[in-house]
Structure formats: structure tokens, C-alpha cells
Amino acid sequence: MTLRCAVLDDFQSVATTVTDWSPVAGAVEVVTFSTHFATEDELAAALADFDIVVTLRERNAFSADLFARLPRLKLLVASGMRNSVIDFAAAERHGVTVCGTASSSTPPVELTWALLLGLARGIVPEATALRSGAPWQSTLGADLHGRRLGLLGLGKIGSRVARVGLAFGMDVVAWSQNLTKERADEVGTGLAASKEQLLGTSDFVSVHLALGDRTRGLLGAAELALMRPTAYLVNTSRAAIVDQDALLAALHAGTIAGAGIDVFDTEPLPAGHPMRSAPRLLATPHLGYVSRANYATYYGEAVEDIRAFLAGTPVRRLG
């Protein structure tokens, strides 16, 4: 019997072309969805007739209620090896195997610098002005060389962002609750005495922390108020680390120079959401992981996961 596999949030319609699905051809019928299902009811209705689901990152929550509404589901593949929106206990109760894939840290590092450089040099307003016939030059670029880059988090991604900053000749400092001087020395950065010191002395602040109880709401109104009015904030990590309402208030008040944001409390952002029109904001629709090589890994290993599951030997199991 042919199993049916749903691939969610294939916005670019590339899931079946960036990798070879022939290893499961004949055994699995693949159906891709290029639009997002915003509610559990929509998701349950769309997936009712599928045995396998491939979900992208943490965009779709798989709760106990949803598993109960999908009695046909036997395999859930999530890109990445960490997922906070899947109820693994419920998956096990309902007989659903959950598997993951590898994920590269290179794309979010590169996007972090795209946002930071775009903010510093006013790339979007200047490019828009050039194309529309507006006055020639209107912004004054912020320098990177000799300026301080403050990193919240110095893990796999943060450390690579740090090394690029050092190559630009920036003074790079880092802070997190568990960061040691030995780790900072290993990467070649300074160690900020506190989160407050980092925020108050940095010209650019970039967030590279995992979301958890200690980091949720780490940057609120009080923390953003510590930043210089000439400083920029970049967040390609998790939206909930930065209080969205506090950030919007700071952008509207001009208490920071600007922000580059790739992650949001609700994704995709609803039409008319205030983040779509906030001043001093360079925003991208969660592109941090979206690159050809990373997608080839996601979907290539999803095929491997499906093939292994069909053989009765699941790989890269989560939960």
C-alpha cells in the first residue's frame, strides 16, 4: 500500500526538487503545501489523510490534541534535531515516530551579517531611493571597524558571527549566563561583565541564544533602554528572547538606531501586523535557515528518515 506524505510550508515549492525522492518512489506519494495552515483545525483537516508529515522547523505545533486528531499519522519528520513545539510524549502514546535532520549553522550566520550590514549602511532605503528617482544619497552609514559588537551567546552560531566581526576590525564582546572567560578567549572575544554592560557599551547587539525559561523575555523595555540611541539590535535567534512590544516602542521612539529582525512571535506575520510597518526596522521573513544547501540537507535527510522508517529501522529519532 502506498503511504501518503505531506510536506508543510514549502513556500518556495522546492522540497521535491532540491533533493532526490526516488528512494521512496512507489512506496510514498508526496504532496507539498506552499501555504501555511495557521490554526490547529486547518492543520488537522489538511493532514487527515496522511501517514507521514514533514514539518519545517518549529512553525507548526504538534500538540497532544493534534496527534489525537490524526489517527493515520505514523511518522513525523522535523527539520533540525531540536524542536520545542512537538509533544513527544503524546507522539509516543499515539504510536507516532518522530525523526529529525541535520541543520547547518552557516545560513543564520550569513543572514546575521546581511541584516547588520544592511542596517549599518542603509542598503534598503538607499536602493529604494535609487530605483524610485529619489534624491541621491540620504543616509550616513555607520562604521563597523573600531566599533563594538556585543553578542548575547557565543555558541556554534555566535562564535562564527564573532569571527566575522573580528575580521572587520570590530571590538567583539560576548555575554551569556554560562559563558566563561576560557570560552571567550578561545573564540577571541572579550567577556562582558554583565548583560547590562554589554547592552550599554555596544554599537551593535546580536542575539544568538537558545530559547528557554532563562532567556524568554531576556530583552525587555528596561534592557532596551540601556542601549545607546546610535546602537542597532539584530535577532536571528528566537523571537521570544526579545519582547516584541518593547522593541516596537523603542523603534517608534527612536531610542535605538534600528533593528534587524528575522524571527517573530507569530509566523507568518499577519497582514497589518505592526512589525510590517515599524520605523527603523529591517525585517526578513525568517530566512535564517533558508538556503539551497540547508534545504538539500533537510529534505535529503527527510527522505533518508522515511526510507529507514519503512525498513523498520528509524534513524535520527527525536524525543
> 201, 168, 196, 166: which is closest to 184 by C-alpha?
166
Of 267, 273, 280, 307, which residue is the catalytic one? 267
Helix (H, G, I), strand (E, B) or coil at 47: helix
Residue 118's SS3 state is helix
Active site residue 186: no
**DSSP letter, residue 13:** S
H-type alpha helices, the chain:
40-47, 64-68, 88-93, 106-121, 123-132, 156-167, 181-187, 195-201, 221-224, 244-253, 292-310
267 is catalytic: yes
- Catalytic residue, candidates 160, 238, 301, 304: 238
The span from the CA of 197 to the CA of 187, in Å, is 20
Phi-psi region of 153 (alpha: psi -120 to 50; beta: other; left: phi over 0): left
List 259's β-bridge partners, or say none.
233, 281
How many whole angstroms separate alpha carbon 284 and alpha carbon 265? Answer: 13
Exposure string for 3-24, b = 16+ CB within 10 A, e = fewer: bbbbbbbbeeebbeebbebeeb
238 classed as catalytic: yes
Catalytic residue set: 238, 267, 286
